[in-house]
Amino acid sequence: MPLYARLVRYGFRKHSTYVGAALAGAFTNSVFGVLRAYILIALWQARPGLAGYDIADAITYSFVTQAFIAPMQLFGGGLAIPERIRSGDIALDLVRPAPLQAWSFAEDAGRACYLFLVRGIPPMLVGAAVFGVVVPGDPGRWAAFMAGFTLAVVVSFGWRYLIALSVCWLIDDRGVAVLSMVLTTFFSGMMVPLHIFPGWLADLAMSLPWAAMVQLPTDLYLGKAAVMETLAFQAFWAAVLLALGALATRAIRHKVVIQGG
């Protein structure tokens, strides 16, 4: 089996060890999906047609975005790089026969696949059972959504990889991790659809990479976005973040700091 395929498999199997934790997370995501759905129902009843969505779209938005939390690791983390930098094990990672960035992405892809199945699908099933959700009937729309979802995972990894590498210069990543979580939560569309932001703020939010993680793949699922333009935007930010990650990886080869030594 090729190296990167084995790493994807390893990432999948590594996270499948913690089945209980994954199921507990799926339950939590489902409960918060129900709560968010009721809030959005009240908002759309007061403002019908807001952001071009009807109530069914708003309910679906709630559960699709809840399903994205774990695969996209929207609250941060998911990579072991910060701990390995602090312990000094990163020195071993940098001399492996595969680039650190590609190695890390392959493992993260396995993690995302597993969590999509175990923590992503249950909230959608709960939403369908309790409220009813929009289900694309066009195979082309499913294909567009899966392409958008895949690119969203890449964008998420690119951003989290940069945050993880910052430990080489900051030693403690807690501050930057909290900042990352706030930015991701607010600007990705995780809280509310970015389309309801006022004027310039909506334009700004839709131009940032975080929109490519949640808002845009959800719009592809709902059929509310132009497919080629959306995928091109996501691919652009994926390429930019991966390129920055490659430059940062090159930089840390000249600056590996081991905490306490």
Under 8 Å CB-to-CB from 162, ≥6 apart: which residues?
A: 241, 244, 245, 248
Task: Tell me, yes or no, whether 260 lies in a domain.
Answer: no
CB hemisphere CA count around 179 (13 angstroms):
8
Q: Is 259 part of any domain?
A: no
In a domain, 261, yes or no: no
Q: What's the rounded Cα separation, in Å, for the pair 110 and 80?
A: 14
**Interatomic CA distance for residues 75 and 181, integer angstroms:** 5
pLDDT in single tens digits along all 261 residues of the chain: 588 899 899 889 988 888 888 889 999 999 999 999 999 999 999 999 898 899 999 999 999 999 999 999 999 888 888 888 888 788 888 888 788 999 999 999 999 999 999 999 999 999 999 999 999 888 999 999 999 999 999 999 999 999 999 888 887 778 888 999 999 999 999 989 999 999 899 999 999 999 999 999 999 999 999 999 999 999 999 999 999 999 999 888 776 544 444
Domain count, the chain: 1
Query: Would you state the structure tokens that stand for residue 143, as one six-digit string?
Result: 């294909």
Q: Is residue 183 part of a domain?
A: yes
Q: Give the Å distances, CA to CA, from 70 to 43, 45, 64, 75, 137.
A: 26, 30, 12, 8, 26
Q: Which residue segment(s) compose the domain that 187 sits in?
A: 3-254
Residue 101 lies in a domain: yes
Report field, pTM of the whole predicted structure over 0.85: yes
Residue 18 placed within a domain? yes
